[in-house]
Amino acid sequence: MATIIPFPSKIKKSREELQNELDDMIIDVSLDLTMGVFSRLESTFPDTDLFIEKDMQKSMILIHEAIKGAVARAYKREHFLHSFAEEVIKFEEADIKFEIDDLPPGSS
């Protein structure tokens, strides 16, 4: 008779494995959102190749990193643009206004 090896009902993952999976998911989601933005830019400027010039490529990378930073912040993960945003972004100077009555302390 064959030996039956029970299949584990739950496979435990290490904290590091779970964090790596979350980081991968953040990259996947941000790339998907970024490609949507890039597609919109290409359709808005159809006679322009937005990706040829190096300075434009840097602007496009900045867009992607900003999106990735926002997704990372939503999952309480660090991103290098967070400290930059805290130093540079002024709510009163932004084109986007969030009309939220109950802002958390320190958010204004």
Per-residue pLDDT tens digits for 28-70: 999 999 999 999 998 998 888 878 889 989 999 999 999 999 9
Say which amino acid occupies 16: E
Per-residue pLDDT tens digits for 18-33: 999 999 999 999 999 9
- Identify which of 94, 93, 66, 62 has the alpha carbon closest to the alpha carbon of residue 79: 66
Domain edges within the chain: 15-88
- Identify which of 80, 62, 77, 85 has the alpha carbon closest to the alpha carbon of residue 24: 77
Q: Are 68 and 26 a contacting pair, CB within 8 Å?
A: yes
